[in-house]
Amino acid sequence: MPTQVQPRLSIFANEPFTDFAQPREEQAIRAAIGGARAALGRSYESFFTAGKAALERVVSVNPANPGEVIGVHYGSPAEVDEAVRRAERAFSEWSRSELATRTGLLRRTAAKLRESKHTFSAWLVLEAGKNWAEADADTAEAIDFLEFYAMQAERLAETSPAIQYPGEDDKLRYLPLGPGVVLPPWNFPLAILAGMTCAAIVAGNTVVLKPSPLAPTVGRLFVDLLTECGMPEGVVNLVQGGTAVGAAMVAHPRVRFVAFTGSKRAGLEIHARAAQTPPEQHWIKRTILELGGKDAIIVHRDADLEMAAEGVVASAFGFSGQKCSACSRLIVHEDVYEELLGAVMEKTAKLAWGDPAENRAVTPVIDEVAYRRVLQYVADAPRQGRVIVGGKALTAPERGYYVAPTIVADVDASSSLAQEEIFGPVLAAIKARSFDEALRIANGTPYGLTGAVYSNSEEYLDRAAEEFHVGNLYLNRKCTGAMVGAHPFGGFNLSGTDSKAGGEDYLLHFTQAKSIARRVG
């Protein structure tokens, strides 16, 4: 049997977060935001069509100041076929390139991104409405994905069959699928976009990429960075646009896979559309889906309530609850229910709101559609429970899309506040009479993405590990903040295909295994 080289994961380390309490770092991020502001409003040409005739305009704005245009982009469903054809042509050479060529591209891009970390974070502040820490974490995660997937590609190339059959030389190779589609979300417009795109290309695939129309500039800047770092033409093909462009990409018969992160509704539509096989398509299109969640934190009566309250507030209201991992249900044992709610209320009341560029804790939701959707849930909240914090808009929409962090107590586990993904700063508190009931409530939605349990009982923590049906479970810590490598991310049920981004098996979704047996002797 050939000697199997050990994977080199031991050298991987997560990118450190920036300490903005240091005056030097504060000055650097402020300068980067100023530099990005000087470039606002730029018009970005399409890669495929000369001029702007017949193309749709994609205009992104600052959610903290909707009158401030971030970037103007152009795209159309008519560009999709050319983008796919370019990806198909590039695939023939890129798929046969040396592994070192592909991993080298990712590592150079990671190094360059590290050098320009504050620059990218500044664009995240202005286009996605993230405060400094949230933007910095987004950029750090992008660096992690690039370096981690480069190492995982090397590990995959070193794989050999578990058994060598007598009289044979047996090999196992993981081959790229072909041209694919990547559809990232607006809430992590750098990290998730970079992760899905670079996982695909380091495995030897080529990509047609459509950033979210709510954060197209960050996506464009990342593709420009890949090009600067030596990416050949046609490996990543950027097309801007909305749902019509995305639908054309998913339906294209020459596409081999679709990687999508977003809402349950959109993901299920993509899954159904991708399952169709027109006569000219001779393969089953693969879908890699990370969808929504209705994530819960359970606080049992024996928990450290101060620690639990801190974790709940961070999980529920960080980035205004606009994370698929955010806590939107708080399930508390009746014996400590009022005490825990009091602590959560006190900490929530201390959160300052305002411009993300000034590093405020409470930031805007992404656009007016989200603003009005969240406020509809808030308006209905008094009929479903007791509003104990928030329950209002903080600004008129023309002054920014700010909604107050809202806590609704005494919510029924079957109500819309406890069942539907709101994707905003709204937390439903539910009382449980026992740990058994808390688990039943936690598992009582169609989702299964993240969850957390606060308890000092090893028995209850062990039970949660077995019975809390989520893809990412956290014990005595918050349910947001998955770290690449340490916390492979993806959910159960209607939260997606549990493809575990940032995990050792993620690249398998972008490959197909070929077993080769050769008779010897």
Give yes or no on whether 23-291+499-516 and 295-483 have one common fold: no
Tokens of 413: 């586990």
Q: How does residue 425 score in pLDDT terms, banded at 50, 70 and 90?
A: very high
Q: Does 366 have pLDDT greater than 80?
A: yes
Q: Does 5 have pLDDT greater than 90?
A: no
Tokens of 60: 């992104």
Q: Does 7 have pLDDT greater than 50?
A: no
282-321 confidence digits (pLDDT tens) = 999 999 999 999 999 999 999 999 999 999 999 999 999 9
| H-run or E-run covering 170 | strand 168-176
Is residue 425 classed exposed, middle or buried when 0-12, 13-18 and 19+ CB atoms within 10 A define those classes? buried
In whole angstroms, give the CA distance from residue 378 to residue 408.
9
Can you spell out the DSSP letters for 187-206? Answer: SSTTHHHHHHHHHHHHTT-E
Q: Which residues share a beta bridge with 56?
A: 75
Can you spell out the DSSP letters for 342-401? Answer: HHHHHHHHT--BS-GGGT-SB---SSHHHHHHHHHHHHHGGGTSEEEE--SBSS-GGG--
Q: How does residue 68 score in pLDDT terms, banded at 50, 70 and 90?
A: very high
At 50 the pLDDT is 55
Whole-model pTM: value is 0.96
In whole angstroms, give the CA distance from residue 210 to residue 193.
9
Q: Does 349 have pLDDT greater than 50?
A: yes
What is the phi/psi pair of residue 326, to 5°? -65, 145
In whole angstroms, give the CA distance from residue 440 to residue 455.
17
Nearest to 393 by CA among 426, 420, 427: 426
Q: In the chain, where are the structural domains located?
A: 23-291+499-516, 295-483
| Lookup result for tokens 């592994």 | 99
243-252 confidence digits (pLDDT tens) = 999 999 999 9
At 4 the pLDDT is 38
| Lookup result for tokens 């449980």 | 432
Q: Does 9 have pLDDT greater than 70?
A: no
Tokens of 170: 């047996």
Nearest to 294 by CA among 463, 411, 433: 411
Nearest to 141 by CA among 75, 189, 87: 189
Q: Does 448 have pLDDT greater than 50?
A: yes
Mean local confidence (pLDDT), 389-400: 98
Mean local confidence (pLDDT), 469-489: 98
Tokens of 443: 């598992």
Mean local confidence (pLDDT), 30-59: 87
Question: Is the separation of the CB atoms in 162 and 172 below 8 Å?
Answer: no
Angle subtended by helix axes 337-349 and 305-317, to nearest 10: 50
Nearest to 199 by CA among 245, 146, 237, 258: 146
At 10 the pLDDT is 52
Nearest to 66 by CA among 373, 400, 369, 358: 400
Mean local confidence (pLDDT), 383-407: 98
At 168 the pLDDT is 96
Kindly list the distances between the CA atom of residue 152 and the CA atoms of 358, 503, 505, in Å, as whole numbers in the listed order.
Answer: 38, 9, 8
Kindly list the distances between the CA atom of residue 449 and the CA atoms of 290, 316, 489, in Å, as whole numbers in the listed order.
Answer: 9, 15, 8
Half-sphere exposure for 392 (CA within 13 Å, toward CB): 6
Residues across the chain = 521
Residue 287 DSSP SS3: strand
Q: How many other CB atoms are there within 10 angstroms of residue 194's CB atom?
A: 32
Letter string b/e over residues 274-297, b meaning 16 or more CB atoms within 10 A of that residue's CB: beeeeeeeeeebbbbbbbbbbbbb
What is the phi/psi pair of residue 161, to 5°? -60, 150
At 54 the pLDDT is 64
CATH of 295-483, one of 3.40.309.10, 3.40.50.1820, 3.40.1280.10, 3.40.50.300: 3.40.309.10
At 436 the pLDDT is 98
**Annotated catalytic sites, by residue?**
290, 324
Helices (H), 415-474: 416-419, 435-442, 458-467
Question: Is the separation of the CB atoms in 469 and 448 below 8 Å?
Answer: yes
Question: Is the separation of the CB atoms in 36 and 126 below 8 Å?
Answer: yes
Q: Which CATH superfamily is domain 23-291+499-516 in?
A: Aldehyde Dehydrogenase; Chain A, domain 1 (3.40.605.10)
